């Protein structure tokens, strides 16, 4: 004679325990979950955008070629300008002759002490290219179906900031903003109040860049290049803060500004490549492999009470009846001992198990 009372209750208990064990085993088998790729409308494809979108690099080779070309142009122009003041090796002859005036004019084109030179012009062109690429990215991002709060507009703001930075290379916008804020607050930051300009531009760039770049799937390259750009511009701002118009600080400041502009253009090319890969569904972050055995999936589907609504309803009904009728637990049954009872077969269904079964039934009903 046994106090188990009800073999159906024991069967229910064994089913719950086995399902819990299979669930834990299958959960350990998962190495990663498959993320859903970004949802774009067909209008976001580069083929349906302006022709410039088809010229953007999408492969690693094309990206390396564009980055190397931009950095090479800036580096060569900086190196030619630095030859005489830094290395004491002039590439232009200073002897009087027939073409001495032309040679002097060519030397002035590489003047490292001024942004009105080839280096400054290349830096400004890099910022214009960065603004154009940012606008192309905005055109593609605006067709993302799951976008919220108009995050694609951040790319337009970023393009405006690049154009404003290019303008500040020849127009004293920093001095204008610094003077206005210094007169308004009575606090002067840096020479001629340019500290206000540096502070506002840094905060604006940081906020807009985070708002635009963080939703990207492949954002590591863009973050690295843009961080290097902001670091170079920080060096240029520090050299300008010193207030010296000549010497090594002036050379370093102008070179850092031009180099930061080139890095900004490369960062926008990297962002455009990431967005194009998202639109075409080839982004690596959206495809993550799983390591789950098919047998475990089948066993979990077969044993899970959620996959068997009728079984769940029967289990919950019996559990509720047992809770309402305590006399059922006092019934006895005669068994011959031929069946091998599990360790959980000699105890009653606990209150927590009843609650779990009722919760499963509510989930099934809501579904």
Which pLDDT tens digit goes with each residue over 62-105? 999 999 999 999 999 998 888 777 777 676 666 566 777 777 77
Does residue 215 form part of some domain?
yes
From CA 149, how far away is CA 166, in angstroms rounded? 29
Q: What pLDDT is stored for residue 307 in this prediction?
A: 45
Residue 243: pLDDT band by 50, 70, 90 thresholds?
low
Name the average pLDDT for the chain: 76
Out of 286, 315, 347, pick the residue that ends a domain.
286
Could you give the number of structural domains in the chain?
Answer: 2
* Mean pLDDT, rounded, for 297-320: 49
Give burial (CB, 10 Å; 0-12/13-18/19+) of 310.
exposed
Out of 270, 286, 302, pick the residue that ends a domain.
286
Does residue 321 form part of some domain?
yes
Lowest-confidence region among 39-43, 68-72, 343-347: 343-347
270 and 142, same structural domain? yes
What is the domain range of residue 298?
A: 7-34+291-366
For residue 335, give every residue at least 6 positions away whose Cβ sits within 8 Å of its Cβ, in sequence order, or none: 1, 2, 4
Q: What pLDDT is stored for residue 260 in this prediction?
A: 94
Sign (positive/negative) of CA torsion 24, 25, 27, 31? positive
Cα-to-chain-centroid distance, residue 177: 32
Q: 321 pLDDT exceeds 60?
A: no
Quick: pLDDT tens for 256-290. 999 999 999 999 999 999 999 888 887 665 444 44
Does residue 2 form part of some domain?
no
From CA 322, how far away is CA 350, in angstroms rounded? 11
205 and 337, same structural domain? no
Q: What pLDDT is stored for residue 54 in this prediction?
A: 86
**More confident site: 254 or 34:** 254
From CA 87, how far away is CA 132, in angstroms rounded? 37
79 and 20, same structural domain? no
Does residue 314 form part of some domain?
yes
Q: What pLDDT is stored for residue 355 in this prediction?
A: 84
pTM beyond 0.95: the answer is: no
Please answer whether residues 123 and 71 qualify as being in contact, where contact means their C-beta atoms are separated by less than 8 angstroms: no
């Amino acid at each position: 004679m046994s106090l188990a009372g009800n073999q159906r209750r024991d069967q229910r208990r064994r089913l719950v325990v086995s399902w819990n064990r299979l669930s834990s085993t299958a959960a350990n088998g998962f190495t990663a979950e498959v993320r859903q790729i970004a949802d774009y409308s067909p209008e976001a494809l580069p083929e349906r955008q302006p022709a410039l979108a088809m010229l953007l690099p999408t492969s690693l080779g094309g990206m390396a070629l564009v980055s190397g070309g931009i950095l090479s142009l800036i580096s060569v122009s900086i190196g030619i300008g630095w030859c005489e003041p830094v290395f004491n090796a002039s590439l232009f002859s200073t002897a009087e002759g027939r073409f001495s005036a032309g040679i002097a004019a060519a030397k002035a084109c590489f003047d490292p002490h001024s942004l009105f030179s080839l280096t400054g012009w290349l830096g400004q062109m890099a910022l214009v290219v960065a603004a154009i690429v940012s606008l192309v990215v905005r055109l593609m991002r605006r067709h993302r179906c799951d976008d919220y709060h108009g995050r694609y507009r951040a790319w337009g703001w970023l393009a405006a900031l690049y154009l404003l930075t290019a303008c500040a290379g020849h127009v004293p916008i920093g001095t204008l903003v610094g003077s206005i804020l210094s007169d308004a607050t009575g606090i002067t930051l840096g020479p001629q109040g340019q500290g206000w300009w540096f502070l506002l531009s840094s905060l604006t760039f940081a906020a807009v860049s985070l708002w635009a770049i963080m939703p990207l799937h492949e954002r590591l390259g863009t973050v690295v290049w843009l961080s290097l750009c902001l670091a170079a511009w920080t060096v240029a701002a520090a050299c300008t803060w010193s207030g010296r118009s000549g010497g090594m600080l002036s050379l370093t400041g102008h070179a850092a500004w031009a180099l930061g502009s080139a890095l900004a253009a490369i960062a926008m090319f990297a962002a455009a490549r990431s967005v194009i890969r998202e639109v075409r569904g080839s982004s690596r972050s959206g495809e993550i492999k799983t390591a789950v055995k098919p047998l475990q999936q089948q066993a979990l589907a077969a044993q899970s009470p959620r996959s068997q609504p009728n079984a769940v309803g029967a289990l919950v009904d019996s559990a509720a009846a047992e809770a309402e009728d305590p006399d059922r637990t006092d019934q006895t049954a005669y068994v011959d001992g031929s069946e091998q009872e599990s360790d959980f077969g000699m105890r009653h269904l606990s209150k927590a198990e009843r609650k779990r079964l009722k919760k499963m039934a509510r989930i099934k009903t809501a579904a």
